[in-house]
């Protein structure tokens, strides 16, 4: 009887459940969306109970879709939207406030004060991150400061904190396990990524009692078993939860980037680039952040991470803002109808520029327009702009690590675009490697879980599973590449420091 590993992929807009077999093939999936709450401008919340409900329904629906009974589930792996913060009462299991989502900017002023107090260097040195509202730390402080009675309860030991992985584990184990994995812990801005423990100085500065914090454990390891009494999941009792990682780290693992220097890029609304830096944690000179990739087999590996704010969203702007295409895939047809962008360069700094520029006053610009410019040239410039931004990040990463990338593994919605992948390969001068299974996030969580229980033997066993769908190789020479990149950098210069 074939067995499967169940991956729970708890994302920002939906909860998914996917079954993987030994060869990494997919059997039975289900996805349920849940509500986004925007109580004020720039505020984003989720209802943790709704997340739980949608995740449970996704599990039973995926079992039905794949006709999989509980006795065929070897292990459960969890991957999740990172940084999103839940605080709940350990006695009742009830959240004291909605989950504050990673996108939420409500704590920007707390961060400004922390920066002004001179904490930046300490935070980077110990956590690998930059002080920002994005990470969990200031979101916990906000809840303790703003929910009546929360701080007293927390100090009494009655409240627990968790990112979404921790919240799911706690519920699935009937409140027996309050734990997270190193990769999720490293996104809280409270975790010392070298010592692998919560940082007392940052906890004290923010007034967060240490007794709220979950135990941080290796990503492939023991997170308890499904407890009796969970409505809808009665048949799953006793199944081990044995793999946990944040979504980007799980994708890096699912792409089998197991060696130092291997990197993956996810092309979604934005882009998430991550490079395995091996067993040492780097500190970037170029505005990238350093995180734990995973803890596995008694070792901890690290990664450098950078993100592009606007990537697939630029294609959507072409559709909804300019009306030049009717659907996202049409961008490819339009862009393929011309040989190049005809000298047009678009810098999509819609919300400022991230690494390596970090210019929140930059705004979008388009240069090089002539009477000959057509919609097709603009479509091509849109794809170019995604690839150029990724090149900016990779150039920064290469400078930090001191060696050149050998290939880039890709996934995400826009990675299906052949023309975009070709442009990316041309600009980087390296091969782009697109796998057959693009569900790399869920796959990574399944692998971490199955490695611990012996479902997969070792990393070689997993690497064999990775099937390449297509490789794109550079079609232009170094000279052409250098000239084009210099033009992009000139265009970026025009977009900077615009909205003051």
Name the site residues for ligand ADP (rule: CB under 6 A).
268-269, 312-313, 315-316, 328-329, 331-332, 412-414, 416-417
Report in angstroms how near the CB of residue 165 gets to ligand ADP at its nearest.
18
The answer to whether 391 and 279 have CB atoms below 8 angstroms apart is no
Give whichever of 340 and 477 is closer to ligand ADP, judged by the CB atom: 340
- Name residue, tokens 């349920």: 32
Give whichever of 218 and 254 is closer to ligand ADP, judged by the CB atom: 254
Report in angstroms how near the CB of residue 266 gets to ligand ADP at its nearest.
7
What region does 244 belong to: left with phi over 0, alpha with psi -120 to 50, or beta? beta
CB-based burial of residue 416 (10 Å sphere; 0-12 exposed, 13-18 middle, 19+ buried)?
Answer: middle
Q: Where are the beta strands (DSSP E) in 99-164?
A: 99-100, 159-163
The answer to whether 319 and 334 have CB atoms below 8 angstroms apart is no
Give whichever of 57 and 416 is closer to ligand ADP, judged by the CB atom: 416
Q: Could you give the CA distance from residue 443 to residue 248 in angstroms, rounded to a whole number? A: 12
Report in angstroms how near the CB of residue 304 gets to ligand ADP at its nearest.
21
The sign of the torsion formed by the CA atoms of 275, 278, 279, 281 equals negative
Report in angstroms how near the CB of residue 279 gets to ligand ADP at its nearest.
30
Give whichever of 23 and 327 is closer to ligand ADP, judged by the CB atom: 327
Q: How far is CA 66 from CA 20, 89, 239, 436, in A?
A: 10, 36, 18, 20
Give whichever of 311 and 492 is closer to ligand ADP, judged by the CB atom: 311
Report in angstroms how near the CB of residue 328 gets to ligand ADP at its nearest.
4
Vertex 342: Cα angle to 341 and 343 (nearest 5)? 90
Per-residue buried b or exposed e for 372-399, using 16+ beta carbons within 10 Å of the residue's own CB? ebeebbbbbbbbbbbbbbbbbbbbbbbe
Neighbours of 291 (CB within 10 A): 27
Give whichever of 87 and 423 is closer to ligand ADP, judged by the CB atom: 423
Give whichever of 333 and 468 is closer to ligand ADP, judged by the CB atom: 333
- Show Cβ contacts of residue 370 under 8 Å, excluding neighbours closer than 6 positions: 342, 343
Q: Could you give the CA distance from residue 75 to residue 3 in angstroms, rounded to a whole number? A: 9
Report in angstroms how near the CB of residue 331 gets to ligand ADP at its nearest.
6
Give whichever of 213 and 335 is closer to ligand ADP, judged by the CB atom: 335
Vertex 480: Cα angle to 475 and 485 (nearest 5)? 110
The strand pair at 263-267 and 271-278 is best described as antiparallel
Give whichever of 150 and 414 is closer to ligand ADP, judged by the CB atom: 414
Give whichever of 53 and 316 is closer to ligand ADP, judged by the CB atom: 316
Q: Could you give the CA distance from residue 406 to residue 82 in angstroms, rounded to a whole number? A: 28
CB-based burial of residue 140 (10 Å sphere; 0-12 exposed, 13-18 middle, 19+ buried)?
Answer: buried
List the structure tokens of 188: 């809280």
Report in angstroms how near the CB of residue 420 gets to ligand ADP at its nearest.
6
Report in angstroms how near the CB of residue 310 gets to ligand ADP at its nearest.
9
- What is the DSSP track for 438-456? --HHHHHHHHHHHHHHTSS
Give whichever of 150 and 334 is closer to ligand ADP, judged by the CB atom: 334
Q: Which residue is nearest to ligand ADP (CB)?
A: 413
Report in angstroms how near the CB of residue 161 gets to ligand ADP at its nearest.
26
Report in angstroms how near the CB of residue 452 gets to ligand ADP at its nearest.
27
Report in angstroms how near the CB of residue 12 gets to ligand ADP at its nearest.
8
């Amino acid at each position: 009887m074939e067995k499967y590993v169940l991956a729970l992929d708890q994302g920002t807009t939906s909860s998914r459940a996917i079954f993987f077999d030994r060869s990494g093939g997919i059997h039975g999936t289900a996805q349920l969306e849940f509500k986004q709450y925007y109580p004020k401008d720039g505020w984003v919340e989720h209802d943790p109970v709704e997340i739980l409900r949608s995740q449970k329904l996704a599990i039973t629906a995926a079992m039905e879709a794949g006709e999989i009974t509980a006795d065929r589930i070897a292990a459960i792996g969890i991957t999740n939207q990172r940084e999103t913060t839940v605080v709940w009462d350990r006695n009742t299991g009830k959240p004291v406030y909605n989950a504050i989502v990673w996108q939420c900017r409500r704590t920007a002023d707390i961060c400004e004060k922390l920066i002004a107090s001179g904490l930046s260097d300490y935070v980077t040195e110990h956590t690998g991150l930059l002080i920002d509202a994005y990470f969990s730390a200031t979101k916990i402080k906000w809840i303790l400061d703003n929910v009546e009675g929360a701080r007293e309860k927390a100090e009494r030991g009655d409240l627990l904190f968790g990112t979404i992985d921790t919240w799911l584990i706690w519920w699935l184990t009937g409140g027996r396990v309050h734990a997270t994995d190193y990769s999720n812990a490293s996104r809280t801005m409270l975790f010392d990524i070298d010592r692998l423990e919560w940082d007392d100085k940052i906890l004290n500065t923010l007034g967060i009692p240490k007794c709220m914090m979950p135990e941080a454990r290796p990503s492939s390891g023991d997170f308890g078993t499904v407890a009796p009494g969970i409505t809808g999941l009665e048949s799953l009792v006793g199944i081990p939860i044995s793999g946990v990682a944040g979504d980007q780290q799980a994708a890096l693992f699912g792409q089998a980037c197991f060696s130092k220097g291997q990197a993956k890029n996810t092309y979604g609304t934005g882009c998430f680039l991550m490079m395995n830096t091996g067993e040492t944690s780097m500190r970037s000179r170029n505005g990238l952040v350093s995180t734990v990739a995973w803890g596995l087999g008694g070792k901890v590996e690290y990664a450098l991470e950078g993100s592009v704010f606007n990537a697939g969203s630029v294609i959507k702007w072409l559709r909804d803002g300019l009306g030049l295409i009717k659907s996202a895939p049409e961008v490819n047809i339009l862009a393929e109808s011309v040989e190049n962008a005809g000298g047009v360069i678009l810098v999509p700094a819609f919300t400022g520029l991230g690494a390596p520029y970090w210019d929140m006053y930059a705004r979008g610009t388009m240069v090089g327009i002539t009477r000959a410019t057509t919609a097709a040239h603009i479509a091509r410039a849109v794809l170019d702009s995604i690839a150029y931004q990724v090149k900016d990040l990779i150039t920064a990463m290469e400078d930090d690590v001191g060696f050149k990338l050998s290939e880039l593994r890709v996934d995400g919605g826009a990675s299906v675009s052949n023309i975009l992948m070709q442009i990316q390969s041309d600009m980087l001068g390296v091969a782009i490697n697109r796998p057959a299974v693009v569900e790399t996030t869920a796959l990574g969580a399944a692998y971490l879980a199955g490695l611990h229980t012996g479902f997969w033997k070792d990393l070689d066993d997993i690497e064999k599973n990775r099937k390449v769908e297509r490789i794109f190789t550079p079609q232009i020479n170094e000279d052409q590449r250098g000239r084009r990149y210099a033009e992009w950098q000139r265009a970026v210069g025009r977009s900077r420091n615009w909205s003051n």
